[in-house]
Amino acid sequence: MDLGPPAKRQRTDNVEIVRSSEIWHSDGSVVLQAGCTQFRVHWSVLSLHSSFFRDLQGLPQPPNEPKVDGCPVIEVSDSSEDVETVLKALYDPLFFLQQSLSLSVIASHIRLNFRKYELKKIWSIVVERLAYENPSTLEGYDGLRGPGSGYYKPSKFKAYKGCYMDILTLAKENNLLAVLPCAYYRVLLAYTQAQIFDGVQRPDGTQATLVSVTR
């Protein structure tokens, strides 16, 4: 990966802007800014995967628009973590060949696709992972359980305490209707009534909750 110099900082309206140390291509042609982080990438890569950026590239740019190293700056409303995750995948053709991905990575791709970026091929890949683990038929559900004991262990994402609650929330927020029935059922099997109402602590100390659940 062709990365540019170490992260540099600038200030705009008293906000410190940081160049990404992970995604900063010295020959990039456009800078995406998410929050206070800038990513220098290529129009050609964005346009190849996203009709949103393909259309955006064709729009005339006002002459007084700010630039960084001669590149136009496109501000996006998404988190820098989500943007960095998706850009890493766009530049790595082997990214989705991994057998298991973290749920946070899957969530980043789903959130950005659902909002506006129309990364259709990637959308299909990440949604397929959730759909595989949350089938819409009883036969599919039974097929995921191991022989004998019927024990289920996900293979398409990395499980952790609270993950089934996070999957249900992700599916609800992004209108993944086919995933919902099984996701609801997994939550009912995995957690006590108290956990469903009060949440479950993830390994990193944060809380997985179903925000729409009320007493």
pLDDT the model gives residue 214: 37
pLDDT band at 136 (very low <50, low <70, confident <90, very high): very high
Asked if pLDDT for residue 116 goes beyond 70, the answer is: yes
Please identify which residue in the block is written with the tokens 């973590």: 81
Asked if pLDDT for residue 215 goes beyond 70, the answer is: no
pLDDT the model gives residue 58: 79
pLDDT the model gives residue 9: 39
The larger pLDDT score, comparing residue 153 to residue 14, is at 153
* Nearest 10 degrees: Cα torsion 131, 95, 44, 128: -10
Beta strands in 69-162 (DSSP E): 71-76, 101-102, 157-158
Asked if pLDDT for residue 3 goes beyond 80, the answer is: no
**Residue-wise over 180-191: b if at least 16 C-beta within 10 A, else e?**
bebbbebbeebb
Alpha-helix residue ranges (DSSP H) falling in 146-192: 163-173, 180-190
pLDDT the model gives residue 213: 43
Percent of the chain with pLDDT over 90: 68
- Mean pLDDT for the stretch of residues 182-187: 96
Provide the CB-side half-sphere exposure for 215 (13 A, CA).
6
- Mean pLDDT for the stretch of residues 87-106: 93
Closest CA to 76 of 51, 44, 52: 52
Percent of the chain with pLDDT over 70: 88
DSSP track, 71-127:
EEEEEESS-HHHHHHHHHHHH-TTGGGSS-EEHHHHHHHHHHIIIII--HHHHHHHH
- Mean pLDDT for the stretch of residues 148-163: 87
pLDDT band at 172 (very low <50, low <70, confident <90, very high): very high
